[in-house]
């Protein structure tokens, strides 16, 4: 199985669910936009700190690609 587009596929699935809820529940639109904006920016900010640790873990003291 090819996992190159796995993250993209799940992002589309969650976007579809979000759009269905957004279009169906008019009373929650303002809250959904606020929470999406808030957590969206939180994800962008946390990416700078967590991406380095994920791809280059400090625990082992080595690069993750050497295990291949």
Q: Provide, rounded to the nearest whole percent, the portion of the chain with pLDDT above 70.
A: 72
In tens, the pLDDT along 47-64 reads 777 776 666 655 555 555
Whether 33 has a pLDDT exceeding 60, the answer reads: yes
Domain boundaries, the chain: 6-67
| pLDDT recorded at residue 60 | 58
Say whether pTM exceeds 0.75: no
Of 35, 14, 13, 17, the closest CA to residue 25 belongs to 17
Q: How far is the C-alpha of 43 from the C-alpha of 56, rounded, in Å?
A: 19
More reliable by pLDDT, 39 or 51:
39
Residue 49's pLDDT is 74
């Amino acid at each position: 199985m090819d996992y190159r587009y796995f993250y993209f596929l799940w992002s589309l699935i969650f976007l579809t669910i979000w759009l269905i809820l957004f279009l169906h529940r008019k009373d929650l639109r303002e809250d959904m936009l606020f929470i999406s904006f808030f957590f969206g920016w939180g994800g962008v900010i946390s990416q700078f700190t967590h991406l380095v640790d994920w791809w280059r873990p400090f625990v082992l003291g080595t690069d993750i690609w050497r295990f291949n």
